[in-house]
Amino acid sequence: MSLATDHQGFLLDAQSWTEDWALATASRLNLPWDELDQKIALVIRQFYFTFDLSPPMRPLVKQIKTNFGPDIGNSIWLMHRYGESPARALALLAGLPKPKNCL
């Protein structure tokens, strides 16, 4: 599925996001995408559309901890699952702009 993205692969229009696009992107980047990842993406999307902000790491961890508990909502678990920049990887998979503090 081809949607308009910037040069780093982030969707230009967050409203155009689909699960199929996220699955294809996760596969292309060798990132996990299962039911849990989908639920995390939906929580992050809700955060974005509420606050008009892709969550940087600390708010991301807090949001995930609130919704999924401390076993998943911690930076170590997120880094093991999504690599060294979970906020960036999850924003990408959720079809959101790159968080402002991510390189």
Annotated catalytic residue: which of 24, 31, 72, 102?
A: 102
- Name the β-bridge partners of 5: 11
Helix spans in 31-73 (H): 35-51, 57-68
Give catalytic status of residue 102 as yes or no.
yes
Taken in order 64, 43, 97, 1, is the CA torsion positive or negative?
Answer: positive
Q: Say which residues have a Cβ less than 8 Å from residue 83's Cβ, sequence separation at least 6.
A: 31, 89
Tell me the three state secondary structure of residue 8: coil
Catalytic residue set = 102
